[in-house]
Structure 1
Amino acid sequence: MRLSNFILNFLLTASLTAQTTLGDFQSIESRDSKHIQMKTAEGYLRIEICTPDMVRFRTSWNGNFEPNESYMVTKYDWEEINWDLKESTDVLELNTSHLTIEVTKNPVQITIKDQSGKVLSKDVNFGNYITNKQVGTQKELFADEHFFGFGERMDFLDRRGKITNLSVGRGEGLPHIVGAYNVLEANYSPVPFFMSTRGYGIFFHTSFETSWDMGHTANDVYRFEAKGGELDYYFIYGPDFPSILNHYTSLTGKSPLLPKSALGLHVGTYSGGTWGYEEMTSDQYPIKLVKKFRALNIPIDILHLDSTWRIFGKNGGSGATTFEWRETFENPEAMFDSLYAQDLSMVGVHVRPRFDNGNKLDLLDKARLAGFVYPEPNNSGEFVNFFNEEAVNWWWENGAKRLADAGAMFFKTDEGSAFGRKANESDKTGPQGEEIKRLHNLFPLAYAKAPYEKFENYNNQRGMNHTREGYAGIQRYPFIFAGDWPSEWQYFEPVIKAGLNIGLSGVSNWAHCMGGFEHVADPELYIRWTQFGLLSPIAHLFGMEHPNYKEPWNYGEEALAIFKKYDELRYRLNPYLYSAMYQNHINGSPLMRALVLDYQNDNNVYTITDQYLLGNDLMVCPVTTKGAQTRVVYFPEGNWINFWTKEKYEGKQYVNILCPLDEMPIFIKEGAIIATQPLEQTLGVKTPTTINLDIYANANGKFALYDDDGKSLKYQQENFSLTTFSLSTNSNSVVLAITSERNNYKLKNRKYNIKIHSLKEPKSIIIDGKPTDNFTFKNEVLNLLFFPNKKDSSIVINN
């Protein structure tokens, strides 16, 4: 039985007597146009005004503030804004145009309000504290408050009432089902950031392990603390979740655009072998694999060769990288040539962050001699010192570039959690000590950054890196995948949760091993999981079970047909998905969106972990129960149309929906404009000359169609085209306005096949002021062909 709040708060307050708080206000020590710093009886509080919506709070007990770092936060130099300070006997009051920050003096505590006077956040139990180098703060938990974010968590969506520890890694111990496969402990990409339904977010700017008690101990108090470092956090006002994500990703970095081909199918391969079957690998297997995809007309763009492409070294075994090809790969350069000749867009290889000695290359010995491994006692270090630019350059020139010269265009950077923590593939734990506590969570960022930037420069095109681990800021070096989860039904929905949570934490370009990674999936699970995977942000097919892996023809004719159906759907949806990727680049909105992101005031969506929006307007509902013939779908506010049957459903209700094996429930929001293109077997860099627009009338809507060359960095100089389609409907007419907002990337011979659903038979159609009869109408669907010949156009359908 939970203790009363009175007793709990008494205990919390009593525990703080062994800790040092800020105490009472003494004086304003410094102030300029961007900050104010005050001295207290026990320490110093520094408030930095970043924007009208974002304020940084830093606390020091010794008067020293740590230098700014560049791994998590990319922007510190904010433009000056207008704010004012008022001081009374009891309170200091800072006002921006959106926030009021009150600092009580005796003791020092922080309360933050919006401009209507609503309290958003309030310190309790003396607020900030330090004890034995552990820093933290306590805040009031309001009755209607719920929390979302915290990175790639597989356990819960709403964190209210939960205790969460954030440190990069996974479960440990045997058996795996309660060790490595423990969804409660999975922490591949933790992010010390959350959003509150009260209208704000907090980013705890620390690389140390953190703990978050979000109302578990007392239901009216939450607290967060770090095992070292400075108490440094950003308060971010929305009040809506998309605005909070936009601010957070402005702080920690927007995700760059990936190559357009990254939205195609990714396939990983062990090249004919896997653990224990390494001698069966060959440089011919990947070529034959892609030939089979092509022969079956299954669209594919990206391939990566996993661990067994390389020999395992003399020191680190399978857990390190020699950069030497296995003997069974007789001609890697010819292999890459053959793969690219089959129209693959990019081919990459798997690496790990530790050097090893091979048969010909003694990179570990040489790196130790040159000082380019992270220091360990007796010069025993193995980890590349990715925190050192010279070490990164040496790693590239002496190891990584050998693979790039052969034809690799990206890396899959694995085992980023092994720095200072036991690795999966060996007993190696890497460097230890106090400094490693600060660096452990940053290592995955430095590790992913190195090949992302090196390959981008070497290939002279947009970078792409495929990594498993991350931390705050990993969205800058995309993409990440969810880790090695077995092909069992019990792990299917937790993987979906991981995608929802990481999307709520600023990371959009996310993938998983569809069908599961380890164990042979039963065909039904394979079908259901790949349906979800092919409508995930990144579609990644990869498994390790020899000899069937996760190739669709190994799961029967039905599985093959359904896989191909959804893969083709994905390729047709590319204009819609690519435009959503651009929006993520601009404002941080993820492709895979938990319903709470758009409906944060609807309590019904707070625990929904098996539905999501893909982009703004497609609601995807994976089937996660074996043998299910129906599944319950919750429809948020608005009207929704069944993608398969076109049946309409009103929002704010639950409905039991049929889900035959070949139909994962998908719904389209009324007012949506869904852009598709004719089917291609590879996305490459082709810009479609025909775009199909399915428009769902009876509600207003908007869609911005993004086009560029799909490959270069010219988009950063605004060399792209952005065409906005705005839908307005009323009882008498439907109006579609088309506006070219950007036109630096020239579209040649573009035409639009427009299909408007749910219409009465039109009395007239007027295009750019001129009537037309060049259309067809049948079963409440209007079809017309539109050729844009001016910057701004309009189509008016009169009912």
Structure 2
Amino acid sequence: MKFTNGYWLLREGITAAYPAQVLDAVPGPGTLRVHAPTQHIRHRGDLLKGPLITVDCTAPMPGVIGVRITHFEGGVENGPHFELHHEPHDPVVAVDDKEATLTSGDLSVRFRLDGDWRMEFQADGRTLTSSDVKAMALMETAEGQHYIREQLRLNVGTSVYGLGERFGPLVKNGQSVDIWNADGGTSSEQSYKNVPFYLTDAGYGVFVDDPGKVSFEVASEQVSRVQFSAERQQLQYYVIHGPTPKEILRKYTALTGRPALPPAWSFGLWLTTSFTTSYDEQTVTGFVEGMAERDLPLSAFHFDCFWMREFNWCDFEWDPRVFPDPEGMLRRLKDRDLHICVWINPYIAQRSPLFAEGKAAGYLLKRPDGGVWQWDLWQPGMALVDFTNPDACAWYASKLEALLDMGVDCFKTDFGERVPTEVTWFDGSDPERMHNYYTQLFNKTVFDVLRKHRGEGEAVLFARSATAGGQQFPVHWGGDCESTYESMAESLRGGLSLGLSGFGYWSHDIGGFEGLPDAGLFKRWTAFGMLSSHSRLHGSSSYRVPWLFDEEAVDVLRHFTKLKLSLMPYLYGAAHQAHSEGIPMMRAMMLEFPDDPACASLERQYMLGGDLLVAPVFSEDGEVSYYVPEGTWTHFATGEKVTGPRWVRETYDYLSLPLLARPGAAIPVGSVDDRPDYTWADEVTVRVFEPADGSRTTVRIPREDGTAPVEITVVREGTRLRAETSDASLPWGLEVAGGPSARAAAGTAVLALTLSDARG
């Protein structure tokens, strides 16, 4: 929200009060409280008028400092609140005549006591950002609305990222962003996944601890500041020190929750019925058999909305006219080694038998007058399940448990964005704060059911909406995109932005959701989709099996599916890192190369894990431009070398795209390419790319059973490359890209290669 008319004036009807100076600083055990009058205190008469702003500083974990700005503190705050995780430590508080500081780890907040207002955050001997004169403010409109606003300075050249899954430019500088979940597709400023957290390339990130509507002006209202505001009497935010972008994400996800680790099978190919297409068991079986006949490995099959009867969404009952024997059908599909997903949402249509049941029990969201809130947008007379009611959660979960008992493995948790505010929640939650937070309760309820019935390592969703902390319940997909190259590119921007907001895994509808892609677009999107964290073929009114496009589409899908499955030893290692550290599998280039200014705004390419560069092709003619950072990179498929830093322009056929291995990378490649869940270390080949002399690289290959990973350490000594494994019981191999290779039988712990030249 903008409050000013240019730099000098306020907008008509807006009044502002700014902290002018520090009146006093009160230290406490690991805390610091500052009282800041909104006028300079020249004599005692100035002490008789307000407002007075109170600023409380705390430190939930080393390197993270919380700031709470308060005007009136007598109000009732009904929640909800983000669940945050604290790490006990001992912040250092110091107050003297000139300054007051609180230090947590390497990060300090400092208040000037002998002059005009200034609060600054310092680390590594420099000021990261600051709240200067006329930055922090109490803003009031002519209608009596009261906002707390903060502005944090942006140093020259600083770029801002994150704020959820946003489909515009990856760098948020110059943008206005409202944190307000909406079902707006992928082609507007709206987002399904809004996260009040931004990350910078200047050593810090900022998380606004407010689940409601927070408005960000990112170098837009004040071009040298990031502004955030909310209609509140109190606002809390945290400054998170890195210094690297990865370390910022580690600390942010430690604070808000790390992603769960999805099951191995979920990384394979998912096929769906699509949305409004006509299908029955014969249709589904035909698709599954068609995939098998064409040697297209399939891991999961998804039934979209019409597995239930029309106007009954959701009643969680199979439409008997189309699926007269659902238990038998699911058993037959599972006999083909498939996992089953079904579509659900948190809305209950009036015709659903569950509407009367939920209404009678008080499980549905209510209007202020006590009646059930309803509307006709999406399903006639639909209501929302009130997940603030524990009994409603248990009721909803019981419906899902029946499906799990039937053979369903996971759920696509659709919708959850269109949540009204003129309502009354069971637990008294503030409707405005609950709008974004509703999806957290919805997805958690479903995820908890899966954890209970399928086990900790088997729970997985396909979720559309989210907010801060939603990364704990993966996987999320990018929503309703068009079948165009432009929408393919905006989908990638959304996924990279979400990854910079703490989410570890992300997917999208291969070929686009709305419309029918031509064969060329489908094939280009297939390559991108199979080199994403999770891969799903899905559409709106048309099927997405490849033979409906052309025979080459079958070849393309087969090629990239098998490539992905063979990379599972590498990809599941990246998945473990997302789970344990909060580093996303699909990474914006700035995350891996924060010191390369050319990477700051790159949004048409990404790193898949830490060692593979992917540049999808967004053109009919196959031409693509991509940036190669410093060093000698290697095309993964051909072994061709590309030396950076430089831009490269090339043309690719449908069976290829820029997929480059990082200099010094050691990438484990599996021996199986027809399923994602296998013993990844058995017959594994470690491919080594441009190892530097004296380098020592350890590859950790996860085990599917969750026990300690197999470690293979590769050492370059002059023209000799030596590797040793922690588990000699498994046969394995070593290969230098474009050079020699060797394989070992079980019982061999060490392999050595003589390189053809000093470069390797």
In the superposition, the TM-score normalised over structure 2's length comes to 0.89
Pick from 149, 153, 157 the counterpart of residue 170 of structure 2.
Answer: 157
Instruction: Return the letter of the residue paired with 2:735.
Output: K
Is 1:485 the counterpart of 2:481? The answer is: yes
Change (3 A) 1:220 1:482: same
CA distance in 1 between partners of 2:161 and 2:573 (Å): 25
Match of residue 386 from structure 2: 385
Q: Distance in 1 between matches of 2:286 and 2:696?
A: 46
SS at match of 1:94: strand
Give, in whole Å, the separation in 1 of the partners of 2:620 and 2:389: 49
Which SS does the other structure have where 1:529 is aligned? helix
Q: Deviations over 1:599-648 (max 9, x none)?
A: 122221222211111011110110001223x3222101222111233121
- Displacement after TM superposition at 1:287 (Å): 2.8
- Whether the 8 Å CA contact 2:70–2:234 is kept in 1: the answer is yes
Amino acid paired to 2:219: G
CA distance in structure 2 between the aligned counterparts of 1:502 and 1:627, rounded to whole angstroms: 29
Q: Distance in 1 between matches of 2:176 and 2:391?
A: 40
Report the Cα offset of residue 133 of structure 1. 3.0
Q: Kindly tell me: are residues 159 and 558 of structure 1, through their superposed partners in 2, closer, same or farther at Cα, counting changes over 3 Å?
A: same
Structure 2 letter corresponding to 1:383: L
Q: How does 1:447-458 map to 2 (within 5 A)?
A: 447-458=442-453
What is the correspondence of 1:388-407 to structure 2 with a 5 Å cutoff? 388-397=389-398, 399-407=399-407
Matched, 1:248 2:252: yes
Which of 351, 355, 358 in structure 1 is aligned with 2:348? Answer: 355
- The residue aligned with 2:103 is 95
Secondary structure in structure 1 of the residue aligned to 2:404:
helix
CA distance 1:392–1:223, change in 2 (3 Å): same
Q: Deviations over 1:634-664 (max 9, x none)?
A: 1012221112331212221112223122211
Query: How far apart in 1 are the matches of 2:434 and 2:747?
Result: 54
Counterpart CA distance in 2 for 1:506 and 1:68 is 26
Match of 1:312 among 303, 306, 310: 310
Instruction: Give the Å deviation of 1:438.
Output: 0.7
Partner of 2:46: none
Deviating more after overlay: 201-210 vs 568-577: 201-210
Amino acid at match of 1:102: R
**1:236-288, CA deviations, whole angstroms, 9 ceiling, x for partnerless residues?**
11111110010011011111111111111111214xxx53x6xx432333233
The aligned counterpart of 1:199 is 203
Q: Partners in 1 of 2:409 and 2:81 — Cα distance?
A: 24
1:437-495 deviations in Å (ceiling 9; x for gaps): 11111111111111111122022352111111111111101011001112122211111
Match of 2:417 in 1: 417
Could you give the per-residue CA deviations for residues 544-593 of structure 1, whole angstroms, max 9, x where no partner exists?
Answer: 224xx111111111111111100110111111100110011111111101
Following the alignment from structure 2 to structure 1, what is the Cα–Cα distance between the partners of residues 445 and 678? Answer: 25
Answer yes or no: is 1:782 the counterpart of 2:741: yes
What's the RMSD between the two structures over aligned residues?
2.7
Alignment partner for residue 374 of structure 1, among 365, 368, 377? 365
1:330 counterpart = 2:324: yes
CA displacement 1:294-324 (0-9 Å, x = unmatched) = 22221111111000000123xxx6xx41222
- 2: CA distance between counterparts of 1:580 and 1:588? 10
2:62 aligns with 52
Paired residue for 1:755? 735
Compute the displacement of 1:60 (Å): 1.4
Uncovered stretches (5+) of structure 2, i.e. residues with no partner: 38-51, 140-144, 374-382
Q: TM-score, normalised by structure 1?
A: 0.85
Counterpart residue number, 1:218: 222
| Distance 1:732-1:685 versus aligned 2 partners, 3 A rule | closer
Q: CA, structure 1 residues 7+258, in 2 after alignment: closer, same or farther (shift >3 Å)? A: closer
Equivalents in 1 of 2:669, 2:721: separation in Å?
21
Query: How far apart, in 1, do the equivalents of 2:364 and 2:287 lie?
Result: 37
* Compared CA separation, residues 701 and 649, structure 1 to 2 (3 A): farther
Q: How does 1:540-579 map to 2 (within 5 A)?
A: 540-546=536-542, 549-579=543-573
CA contact (8 A) 1:124 1:221 kept: no
Q: 1:709 Cα deviation (Å)?
A: 3.3
**Distance in 2 (alpha carbons) for counterparts of 1:325 and 1:732:** 64
Deviates further, 474-483 or 488-497: 488-497
- Give CA deviations for 1:114-137 in whole Å, capped at 9, x if unaligned: 132x11011123332233232220
**Aligned counterparts of 1:81 and 1:794: Cα–Cα separation in 2:** 49
The answer as to whether partners of 2:16 and 2:137 remain within 8 angstroms in 1 is: yes
The alpha carbon displacement at 1:67 in A equals: 7.6
Which residue in the other structure is 2:378 paired with?
none
Q: Of 123, 135, 148, which aligns to 1:127?
A: 135
Unaligned runs of 5+ in 1: 1-5, 172-179, 422-428, 741-746, 759-779
- Aligned to 1:506, the other structure's residue is in SS state coil
Partner Cα separation in structure 2 for residue 265 and residue 218 of structure 1: 46
Partner-residue secondary structure (3-state), 1:255? coil
Query: Deviation of residue 674 (structure 1)?
Result: 1.0
Alignment of 1:177-196 (within 5 A): 180=185, 183-196=187-200
Q: Kindly tell me: are residues 107 and 434 of structure 1, through their superposed partners in 2, closer, same or farther at Cα, counting changes over 3 Å?
A: farther
Matched residue type, 1:412: K
Q: Distance in 2 between matches of 1:306 and 1:249?
A: 32
What SS does the corresponding residue of 2:620 show, helix, strand or coil?
A: coil
Q: Counterparts of 1:724 and 1:709 in 2: how far apart (Å)?
A: 14
Q: Is the 8 A contact 2:118 2:133 kept in 1?
A: no
Alpha-carbon distance in 1 for matches of 2:359, 2:462: 27
Q: Report the equivalent of 1:506.
A: 502
| Distance across 1 between alignment mates of 2:516 and 2:412 | 23
Separation in structure 1 between the aligned mates of residue 106 and residue 80 of structure 2, nearest angstrom: 28
Determine the structure 1 residue equivalent to 2:333: 339
CA-CA distance at 1:786 after TM superposition: 6.1
Deviation at 1:690, TM superposition (A): 1.6
Given that 1:493 and 1:624 are in contact with CA atoms closer than 8 Å, whether structure 2 keeps it comes out as yes
Q: 1:591 to 1:408 in 2, by over 3 A?
A: same
Taking the aligned partners of 2:697 and 2:423, their CA distance within structure 1 comes to: 51
Matches within 5 A, 1:623-662: 623-628=617-622, 630-662=623-655
Aligned partner of 1:387: which letter?
Answer: T
